Structure 1
Amino acid sequence: MPRVKRQPAVVNNVQNNSFKKIHGLQSIAPLVQSVEETPEPIPTTIKGNIPTWIRGNLLRNGPGKFEFGNQQFNHWFDGMAMLHSFQIADGQVAYRSRFLRSDSFNQNNEMNRIVISEFGTLALPDPCKNVFQRFLSRFEMMKPTDNASVSFVKYKGDYFVSTETNFMHKVDPETLETNGKVDWSKFIAVNGATAHPHVDPDGTVYNMGNSYGSKGALYNIITVPPEKESPDDTLQGAKVLCSITPGDKTRPSYYHSFAMSENFVVFIEQPIKMDLFKIVTCKIRGKGISEGIYWDPNQETVFHVINKHTGKVNQVKYYAMALSTFHQINAFEEDGFLILDMCCSDSGEAINIYLLQNLRKSGEGLDEVYNSMARLLPRRFVLPLNITDKTPLDTNLITRPNCSATAVANSKDRVFCTFEDLHGDDLLDYGGMDFPHIHYERFNTKPYHYFYGCGLRHLVGDSLIKMDLQDKKLKAWYQPGFFPSEPVFVPSPSAEEEDDGVILSVVLTPTKDKETFLLVLDAKTFKELGRAEVPVNIPYGFHGTFNSTA
């Protein structure tokens, strides 16, 4: 990957100067504290109106236990997976939760201490061993965690919970019971897969996973067929569609997700780097895995485009200045261009900011942590697909009307791109946004008008945003002291328009005990229809999905 002069700081200054410093942030420490599970469904109190046509389960995943015995995890991502279900039918809502019975949870629980290392926490040697045994244990290969705390994913009609290692767990979406561990590496040569797969209309699932060998790392595009070969089938038939070589095989990029259009998969190789030597030797050095992940602003971002049907990697690479992204919004093809929309920022240091000690700060300390972060904003890159030997060089190739993004061919296999903002100045008042969702079933890989996300005037979401791409205007739901989670769009049964449906979001109130509620918004007007108040405390989670039972 080419080295470039250090220029991203200029962009950072532009972005950071667009945001006012925040002072007097409310403490969110109660949102990242351990809670008890509620395995049997409990009723909720309905305020307003929950539309009777909503029938199904809002499934949520995230960390819910942050210590065992007198040992505490260091990073938010380390907490033990807690699964949540809001069962909606006939205008009523029932809530239940269970801890994922992963090997990590079971072993930690049995020993009453942390025995499985996580992203930011290195498990200490067994204190019952002698000094020599504890010393030797540092040279043992670290086992990947199966603490699948990121999201719910679906393969071949079954629900699984996933993280970014090679382990998933099959889960009953009705009872949340853990029904077995699945190892990706038993089916294909990968060492993990993202918790954000994409699905084609025929049910074929696409995902990405790294593989590590003696010659370094590879990025792999994975496909999983929609049909089951037997009742016990999980990932049978999975295959690696293609492999991509990193710019530096010993320092591949970290990625949380990828983009997909009708005919292409787009992998964003960003300058958040994984130092494989540091990661492999973390036990010897007494450091967590997170210590081996770093941001390199001197690296460009590279967009790799892969044909979904042939597995061929486009020889043209698309470059941009250093940026980081966790979540893409949508991607589609139109008039010879591949349009890629995503939430991104000009710095990639946030992943190491989400230490529990930072999230539990208050006063000036919390303000300082928040103001040190680059903001996430929705942006559009436009990639011209038909690059040939006759393509003019050093000329903006984007001919789309009213598009401020640029794409300039420096050679027949290199195009440098700049982005178009997908927002107006009013989004800056909400601190940027992330956790994007769209009407996925009908508009994923297609031109679309609306997306939804969380406003980020805090370290977690503190508002809900609906963005209209036609005029770049937004609608917002915001109430001081309330912290909504990722919005999930559920279309109405007779939906004709893109935004005909509701938004579901779990809202937490850290200043009040046991006053969590499921919020239901009209997706068109963004007005509140109703809420279902839950008489238990729930920690702030990551991702989820709606499982329709209609």
Structure 2
Amino acid sequence: MEKNSAAYLFESVDECPEEVVTEISGRIPDWISGCLLRNGPGKYEFGEHKFNHWFDGSSILQKFNISRGQVTFQSRFLESNTYINNTKTQRLTVDEFGTTATPDPCATRFERFKSMFFKSSEETDNTNVNILKYGDCLLATTDSPKMYLVSTSLRAQKQISFRKLLSIHLASAHPHIDYDGVMYISGSSFAGRPKHHLVKVPPSQKGDEQELLSQATILSTIQSRSALNPSYLHSFGMTENYLIYCETPVSISLFRVLTSRVTGATVNKAFSYNPDEMAQFHIIKKSTGEVLPVKFQVKGLFYFHTINSYEDDNHIVMDVCAYTNFTTEHLFHVSLDTLRSGKWATDSGWKQHDQRPTRLVFPLRDASKEPPNKNLVTLPNSECRAFCVAENLVDIDPEKLLPEGENGLDMPQINYENHNARKYRYFYGAGLLVNNYFRSSIAKVDVESKASTRWRGTSNQHPSEPVFLARPRPGGSSEDDGVVLSTVCDTDPGNRDFLLVLDAKNLTEIARAYVPETVRIPYSIHGSYYRI
């Protein structure tokens, strides 16, 4: 396949299990000493059987080891049970998000007949979305109740199932780790009336990660507003004292999920977006798990990723990368063939919806006696408004953090180690592949001035989610004193993929670390950095 095509980003890659030395252009600061981790799909077929959706590809983990101005790279397929069985049988042994399993050719005639009507009850453990440091191990996650403990050499060590531990059927791929080391995870369960949960995991201690994950407890439970169509959530908010859970207007039809075992429909067809439905936000006390009686709502707002949340003068401020007025097909039903053809990027439907970073402000004071036309937001310089429309129900009129026309920014990252759950000013994001203002670029956004700065390479260079790395103190002082790391896939056949290092203050380029010509950097989804 020609490298200079959209398909290059969504084709299988070979793993690079042994570390290779990169070629440095520019100068990587000496104070950077640690590892950038990435996770995402990397293999899209087994034998003659192919996945249909980007989210289905087998997880490939990446690690850039940075020390003394030099960088090494390695990648390894996550040896999950699903990956091992697919490799052994050279077929798709379990259902994925957008692909059904292929029948077992070794099954009896009756078993093959039965599989036409009743699909396997086995679940995928292909954790291909995110990876983060947890104690001495790495934790690979996705939006399922299963996650993997992984060694720093990218070897799968142990599968952890929150379904077995806590009867949870979905779990967020984006845990929050608090300053005291406690980890929070959101999830949902569908036995009986659906429920949404916030899970609390004790702080990691050296060598006991598996034991601590098994000690996870449900901190709080929220009854789903719908008995048959619970909402889908990819990430939640956290402040110093609260967690924020959103029932989004993207729902999962449990009827379609259950009947898919007979109809053969894929799981992603059970997802649907209703632009007239409210996004409803629940506030939970971290100390007790109590759910505050007041709910906040915004019509039609959906998001995958929170940017940051914090408390300010008896308000909660929550920033998200919001999507409004889109279609379900654009976000959940896009096939790999459509991505490879490039049609998705030029689809005019993307111009019909507003995808910009958005601020929500939730006033915490009692509003029961306030008149319905009174704005409850009293923060100075805030354009967000809130109105009490019923007892314990507040409508939110959001504030856009970028001007109209600056669409298409997602994958947000902040100075997490110093400003997560605290007031902040800057975040960094990656532009979507669609034709819009931020297409295939890295951006820095000032949420106070609403100004943005972009780094963009050539039209063939596609950066991943940016990861901010703060300069160690006392040398580093300001919030944006550090660097931004991003992997870049270059589809020009004469160029190599590379790790990009940018000055976090102005996004000027500091250095690149090119992998060898025989090595490819997979087009990944999420990742993180940890210091050595």
5 Å matches for 1:432-511? Answer: 432-456=408-432, 458=434, 462-479=440-457, 480-494=459-473, 495-511=476-492
Cα 1:360–1:161 shift into 2, 3 Å: same
Contact 1:391/1:412, CA 8 A, preserved across alignment: no
Give, in whole Å, the separation in 2 of the partners of 1:206 and 1:500. 28
Aligned to 1:226: 203
Deviations 1:138-177 (CA, angstroms, capped at 9, x unpaired): 425522210000001344453110112121111112x111
Please give the TM-score of this superposition, normalised by the length of structure 2.
Answer: 0.93
Give, in whole Å, the separation in 1 of the partners of 2:426 and 2:530. 22
Give, in whole Å, the separation in 2 of the partners of 1:369 and 1:167. 37
Give, in whole Å, the separation in 1 of the partners of 2:505 and 2:463. 18
Deviations 1:408-454 (CA, angstroms, capped at 9, x unpaired): 001231100011111135xx35x420000000111111111100001
How far did residue 291 of structure 1 move? Answer: 1.2
Aligned to 2:304: 326
Cα 1:33–1:183 shift into 2, 3 Å: same
Whether 1:518 aligns to 2:494 is no
Whether 1:122 aligns to 2:100 is yes
Give, in whole Å, the separation in 1 of the partners of 2:445 and 2:131. 25
Contact 1:155/1:226, CA 8 A, preserved across alignment: no
Secondary structure of residue in 1 paired with 2:87: helix
How far did residue 285 of structure 1 move? Answer: 0.3
Deviations 1:12-52 (CA, angstroms, capped at 9, x unpaired): xxxxxxxxxxxxxx842101100110000001110011111
How far did residue 237 of structure 1 move? Answer: 2.2
Give, in whole Å, the separation in 2 of the partners of 1:365 and 1:148. 25
Q: Identify which range, 202-211 or 351-360, moves more after superposition.
A: 351-360
How far did residue 77 of structure 1 move? Answer: 0.1
Contact 1:118/1:289, CA 8 A, preserved across alignment: yes
One-letter code aligned to 1:509: D
Q: Identify which range, 341-350 or 284-293, moves more after superposition.
A: 341-350
Aligned to 2:21: 43
Secondary structure of residue in 2 paired with 1:526: coil
Give the one of 338, 341, 362 matched to 1:361: 341
Give, in whole Å, the separation in 1 of the partners of 2:442 and 2:154. 27
Cα 1:278–1:377 shift into 2, 3 Å: same
How far did residue 336 of structure 1 move? Answer: 1.2
Aligned to 1:289: 267
Contact 2:433/2:440, CA 8 A, preserved across alignment: yes
Give the one of 523, 528, 531 matched to 1:545: 528
Cα 1:373–1:197 shift into 2, 3 Å: farther
Secondary structure of residue in 2 paired with 1:445: coil
How far did residue 227 of structure 1 move? Answer: 4.5
Give, in whole Å, the separation in 1 of the partners of 2:136 and 2:179. 13
Deviations 1:306-341 (CA, angstroms, capped at 9, x unpaired): 111111111111111112100000111111111110
Give, in whole Å, the separation in 1 of the partners of 2:529 and 2:439. 19
Contact 1:155/1:224, CA 8 A, preserved across alignment: no
Give, in whole Å, the separation in 2 of the partners of 1:172 and 1:374. 42
Give, in whole Å, the separation in 1 of the partners of 2:227 and 2:454. 43
Contact 1:153/1:195, CA 8 A, preserved across alignment: no
Aligned to 1:199: 177
Give, in whole Å, the separation in 2 of the partners of 1:177 and 1:202. 28
Give, in whole Å, the separation in 1 of the partners of 2:182 and 2:439. 32
Give, in whole Å, the separation in 2 of the partners of 1:229 and 1:521. 33
How far did residue 84 of structure 1 move? Answer: 0.4
Structure 1's unaligned 5+ residue stretches are: 1-25
Q: Identify which range, 372-381 or 63-72, moves more after superposition.
A: 372-381
Q: Identify which range, 442-451 or 224-233, moves more after superposition.
A: 224-233
5 Å matches for 1:9-48? Answer: 27-48=5-26
Secondary structure of residue in 1 paired with 2:171: coil
Aligned to 1:532: 513
Contact 1:513/1:537, CA 8 A, preserved across alignment: no
Q: CA RMSD in A?
A: 1.9
Secondary structure of residue in 2 paired with 1:452: strand
One-letter code aligned to 2:80: S
Aligned to 1:419: 398
Structure 2's unaligned 5+ residue stretches are: none
Contact 1:60/1:85, CA 8 A, preserved across alignment: yes
How far did residue 461 of structure 1 move? Answer: 5.8
Give, in whole Å, the separation in 1 of the partners of 2:29 and 2:463. 20
Give, in whole Å, the separation in 1 of the partners of 2:375 and 2:386. 5
Cα 1:418–1:224 shift into 2, 3 Å: same
How far did residue 388 of structure 1 move? Answer: 4.2
Secondary structure of residue in 1 paired with 2:214: coil
Contact 1:62/1:542, CA 8 A, preserved across alignment: yes
Cα 1:398–1:351 shift into 2, 3 Å: same
Secondary structure of residue in 2 paired with 1:290: helix
Give, in whole Å, the separation in 1 of the partners of 2:301 and 2:429. 19
Give the one of 148, 151, 176 matched to 2:130: 151
Deviations 1:264-283 (CA, angstroms, capped at 9, x unpaired): 11111111110012112212
Please give the TM-score of this superposition, normalised by the length of structure 1.
Answer: 0.90
Whether 1:167 aligns to 2:143 is no
One-letter code aligned to 1:441: E
Contact 1:153/1:197, CA 8 A, preserved across alignment: no
Secondary structure of residue in 2 paired with 1:170: strand
